[in-house]
Amino acid sequence: MKEFLQAITDIIAVFFGDAPERPRTPQPLPPALPPAAPLPPVADPNEPQDAGEVQASDDPVVVSHEAEDPRVTDGHEFDADPLPPPSEDTSIELNNGDTPGPVNPGPEYRARYMWCIDNGHGSLTAGKRSPVLPDGRQLLEFEFNRDVARRIFDKLDDLGVPYFNVIPEVEVGNLLLERVDRANRLSSALPKLFLSIHGNAGPAPSLQDFTDDSVRGIETWFYHGSTQGRNLAAVFQRQLIARTGFKNRHLRSKVTGQFYVLRATRMPAILTENGFYNNRFDLAAMLTDEFRQAIADAHVAAILEVDREGI
């Protein structure tokens, strides 16, 4: 009877253009939502994204020397000998004399980690380019990073090493949140590691000026306080120096204001800075096929070493 009266009321309401708002029978409430996952730290659009944006006035940068760290005693030797100052000759300084052998996983290779490999920037990233050379050549950092990453992917495909290409799209900007989010959301049976590949830039009056000749070399950044991140960075830095003969700028980490891709990724994460594209010596090498392949080979050798020995 009650439902019949309700139906009559609803029909009259419709007749007068007043649609019934109440459901005729109570609907069950939707199940309670699970508690929201904690949001990653917010990326400030003005914060440094890589070492090229770290200012001298920022927090002190910690330069880590393996020999001074009592926690690192597991054979991750780190060659801290300074290289001679740059010569006037801008030829490539690849360390061809005792370059380690070809990258080979060996017959007993077993995948241990899922490598989330990030190319740092997209074609829409502002700045981040070398001065234009008299012959018209110019290095764009996003193109350098992606060329190195592609060479790494090719090798990992051949070797059967599992990896995740975090940002395959080219026409993007910095996309910091997405880089981190994709890696964090990736479902993997293997524990994940994050590797971000970059070229560096030193202080210069403008994009068309070179930085000081002494500002050059390779450095690897890790999340301050992360022992696993530090161990991971040590393997990459050692392989990069051994395979290029570039100036060793060691491991680096900031106490505060750490790069978003290092502090918001929920996995050990490092960022390699593979030469200064606004140093006229480093740039000469970074424009060549040979150097890019050596950088890629060093990353692959480090990946295989970490897969073999763990961090």
Q: Give residue 53's region: left, alpha or beta (phi > 0; psi -120 to 50).
A: alpha
Q: Shortest approach of Zn ion to residue 52 CB, angstroms?
A: 6
- Long-range contacts made by residues 70-73, C-beta under 8 angstroms, separation at least 24? 71/227, 72/230, 72/231, 72/234
User: CB of 121: closest distance to Zn ion in angstroms?
Assistant: 5
| Binding flag, residue 299, Zn ion (CB under 5 A) | no
As measured in angstroms, the least distance from the Cβ of 174 to Zn ion is 9
Q: What is the DSSP string of 136-168?
A: S---BHHHHHHHHHHHHHHHHHHHT--EEES--
Q: How far is the CB of 307 from Zn ion (least distance, A)?
A: 26
Q: How far is the CB of 219 from Zn ion (least distance, A)?
A: 12
Q: CB 69 → Zn ion: shortest distance, Å?
A: 26
Touching Zn ion, residues 23-42 (CB under 5 A): none
Size of the site for Zn ion (CB under 5 A): 3
For Zn ion, the closer CB: 113 or 291:
291
Q: How far is the CB of 46 from Zn ion (least distance, A)?
A: 15
Residues of 103-113 as b/e, b for ≥16 C-beta within 10 angstroms? bebeeeeeebb
**Residue nearer to Zn ion on the CB measure, 271 or 304:** 271
Q: What is each CA distance from 211 to 10, 83, 278, in whole angstroms?
A: 78, 19, 6
Task: Write each residue from 150 to 189 as x if it is in contact with Zn ion (CB under 5 A), else as -, in one continuous string.
Answer: ----------------------------------------
Q: Contact between 146 and Zn ion (CB under 5 A)?
A: no
The answer to whether residue 219 forms part of the interface with Zn ion (CB under 5 A) is: no
Nearer to Zn ion, 50 or 147 (CB): 50
For residues 152 and 243, the answer to whether their CB atoms sit within 8 Å is: no
Of 78, 117, 118, 120, the one binding Zn ion by CB under 5 A: 120
Binding part of the chain for Zn ion, among 108-116, 198-206, 224-232, 276-284 by CB under 5 A, reads: 198-206
Q: What angle do CA 74, 75, 80 make, to 5 degrees?
A: 125
Taking CB under 5 A as the rule, does residue 50 contact Zn ion?
yes
Give min distance, CB of 288 to Zn ion, in A.
19
Q: In whole angstroms, how close is the CB of 141 to Zn ion at the nearest point?
A: 5
Give the one residue of 151, 179, 198, 216 binding Zn ion; rule: CB under 5 A. 198
Question: Which one, 120 or 202, has the nearer CB to Zn ion?
Answer: 120
Q: Of 21-29, 39-47, 184-192, 194-202, which segment contacts Zn ion by CB under 5 A?
A: 194-202
Which C-beta is closer to Zn ion: that of 105 or that of 199? Answer: 199
CA atoms within 13 A on the CB side of 140: 12
Q: In terms of CB distance, is 76 or 252 closer to Zn ion?
A: 252
Instruction: Report the residue number, 143 or 213, with the smaller CB distance to Zn ion.
Output: 143
| Sign of the dihedral defined by the CA atoms of residues 274, 280, 281, 286, in that order | positive
Binding site for Zn ion (CB under 5 A): 50, 120, 198
